[in-house]
């Protein structure tokens, strides 16, 4: 593993039973980098770098307590409208011996009924759509969580489990965008039309894969709650575009200044988001000691910066601009991550050299192509 890509990454030994030095109930905010999402960046919600808010039961509390806390957190702390909350649960897999999660369904039904919100349960949403339901069963393709994905992809020894996910309804209408891969399917909470966005999940991390391929119950039943800070913020704004939140918007403004183009122009929006995400991610990597190079983690820093420059070139940013973006990132995170501003000059110098080198190769290459 080259990067921390999820909240559980640094906690695996404790999920497997080792005693954590500060106890069995933890709360954290984990910086995450998902290199595998690099091609997805450009829509309203995907980013390579994000902060995962977590709370963790290491064999302490379980579903009954945690799902209620999850709901209380998003409705009372974050202030989301409970009517706009939809949830999913695991439908079970007989072959793996993992039961259907009827317990979570009962908990969610109680939670919603206390607010007089009808909470019908449905399955086959991929085929039959919403069916007027609020709680949905999905298979392990959607409601199973491990670092490696679905059960068959997990290596022996890896912990994982079914999860319950929460979606926020941006209420943008039921029409599926014509470019969506799901355009021929009915809209449902897990489809890609943009109406719903997952804002968090509670993984019931209670199984470990065995060398035989079977799943054994761990000695302790853990809960791994993960909530994407940027997405929660977007839901709090009731605007599905995470790039319009305070965690990105000042960067977008800086890119607008450099390009002279407005983010609202459809023809530049994707490129602007990619530049914004990539330079921000590279800045966070650098603050943690990863600089552009041809090897291991450094390769991803280089790839992020070069992609950002290529997209910048496309929207008319011809001169050095990355160091200005680094400055804006350091301002956004002055309080939360002061190390960025402390290391700003070194980061800017390294990125300036990278930009200089790559812009020269880019213009040489483009000349060759046009020849
Ligand atoms: N809580 C699991 C994850 O989404 O990282």
Mean per-residue pLDDT of the chain: 95
The mean pLDDT value for 128-147 works out to: 95
Name the band, by pLDDT with cuts 50, 70 and 90, for residue 171.
confident
Please compute the mean of the pLDDT values over residues 1-16 and round it to a whole number: 95
In angstroms, the CA 158 to CA 156 distance is: 6
Tens of pLDDT, residue by residue over 118-134, are 999 999 998 898 999 99
Structure tokens at 367: 């000349």
Q: Given a cut of 80, is residue 269 above it in pLDDT?
A: yes
Select from 3, 6, 27 the residue to mutate for testing ligand 1; criterion: most ligand atoms less than 8 Å from CB: 6
For residue 192, name the pLDDT band (cuts at 50, 70, 90). Answer: confident
Question: What pLDDT was estimated at residue 10?
Answer: 95
Ligand 1: distance of its center to the CA of 148 in Å?
11
pLDDT band at 177 (very low <50, low <70, confident <90, very high): low
Helix (H, G, I), strand (E, B) or coil at 225: strand
DSSP bridge partners of 146: none
Is the backbone of residue 358 left (phi > 0), alpha (psi -120 to 50) or beta?
alpha
Q: For Cα atoms 143, 8, 86, give the angle at the middle one, nearest 5 degrees.
A: 35
- 199 within 8 A of 228, measured Cβ to Cβ: yes
- Taking only the tens place, the pLDDT of each residue in 302-337 is 999 999 999 999 999 999 999 999 999 999 999 999
> Is the pLDDT confidence value at 91 over 90?
yes
Q: Which atom of ligand 1 is nearest to the CA of 52?
A: 5
Q: Looking at residue 174, what is its pLDDT? A: 47
CA 216 vs. chain centroid, Å, equals 28
Alpha-carbon gap, residue 324 to 302, rounded angstroms: 18
| Separation of alpha carbons 355 and 344, rounded Å | 16
Q: What is the mean pLDDT of residues 200-226?
A: 97
Among 5, 26, 224, the mutation site with the greatest number of ligand 1 atoms within 8 A of its Cβ is 224
The strand pairing partners of 202, in sequence order, are 164, 225
| Pocket-testing residue among 7, 36, 142, 204, ligand 1, by greatest number of atoms within 8 A of Cβ | 7
> Which ligand 1 atom is at minimum distance from the Cα of 54?
1
End-to-end CA distance of the chain: 42
Give the integer Cα–Cα distance in Å for 293 and 125. 45
Q: How far apart are CA 103 and CA 62, in angstroms?
A: 11
| pLDDT, mean of residues 62-88 | 97
Task: Judge contact between 35 and 278, C-beta under 8 A.
Answer: no
d(CA 312, CA 208): 45
Render pLDDT for 226-264 as a digit per residue (tens, 0 to 9): 999 999 999 999 999 999 999 999 999 999 999 999 999
Query: Please, what sign has the CA dihedral across residues 280, 285, 291, 297?
Result: negative
Report the nearest-CA residue for atom 1 of ligand 1. 226
203 lines ligand 1 (CB under 6 A): yes
Give the per-residue pLDDT at 307: 97
Is 70 close to ligand 1, i.e. is its CB under 6 Å away?
no
Q: How far apart are CA 87 and CA 100, in angstroms?
A: 15
């Amino acid at each position: 593993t080259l990067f921390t890509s999820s909240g559980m990454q640094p906690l695996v030994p404790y999920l497997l039973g080792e005693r954590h030095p500060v106890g069995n109930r933890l709360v954290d905010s984990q910086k995450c980098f998902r290199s595998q999402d690099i091609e997805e960046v450009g829509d309203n919600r995907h980013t390579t770098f994000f902060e995962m808010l977590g709370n963790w039961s290491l064999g302490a509390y379980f579903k009954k307590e945690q799902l209620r806390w999850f709901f209380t957190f998003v409705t009372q702390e974050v202030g989301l409208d409970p009517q706009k909350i939809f949830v999913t649960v695991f439908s079970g897999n007989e072959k793996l011996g993992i039961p259907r999660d009827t317990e979570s369904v009962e908990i969610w039904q109680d939670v919603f009924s206390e607010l007089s919100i009808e909470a019908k349960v449905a399955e086959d949403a991929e085929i039959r759509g919403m069916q007027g339901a609020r709680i949905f069963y999905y298979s392990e393709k959607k409601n199973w969580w491990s670092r490696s994905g679905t059960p068959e992809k997990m290596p022996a020894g890896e912990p994982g489990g079914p999860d319950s996910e929460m979606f926020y309804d941006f209420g943008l209408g039921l029409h599926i965008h014509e470019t969506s891969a799901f355009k021929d399917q009915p809209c449902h909470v897990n489809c890609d039309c943009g109406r719903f966005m997952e804002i968090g999940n509670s993984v019931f991390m209670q199984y470990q894969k065995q060398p035989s391929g079977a799943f054994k119950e761990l000695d302790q039943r853990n809960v791994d709650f993960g909530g994407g800070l940027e997405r929660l913020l977007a839901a709090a704004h009731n605007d599905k575009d995470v790039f319009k939140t305070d965690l990105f918007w000042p960067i977008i403004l800086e890119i607008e200044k450099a390009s002279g183009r407005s983010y609202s122009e459809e023809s530049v929006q994707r490129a602007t988001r990619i530049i914004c995400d990539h330079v921000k991610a590279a800045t966070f990597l650098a603050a943690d000691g990863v600089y552009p190079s041809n090897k291991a983690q450094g390769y991803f820093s280089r790839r992020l910066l070069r992609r950002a420059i290529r997209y910048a070139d496309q929207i008319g940013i011809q001169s050095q601009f990355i160091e200005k973006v680094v400055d804006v990132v350091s301002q956004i995170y002055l309080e939360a991550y002061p190390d960025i501003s402390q290391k700003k000059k070194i980061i800017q110098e390294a990125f300036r050299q990278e930009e200089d080198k790559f812009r020269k190769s880019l213009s040489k290459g483009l000349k060759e192509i046009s020849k």
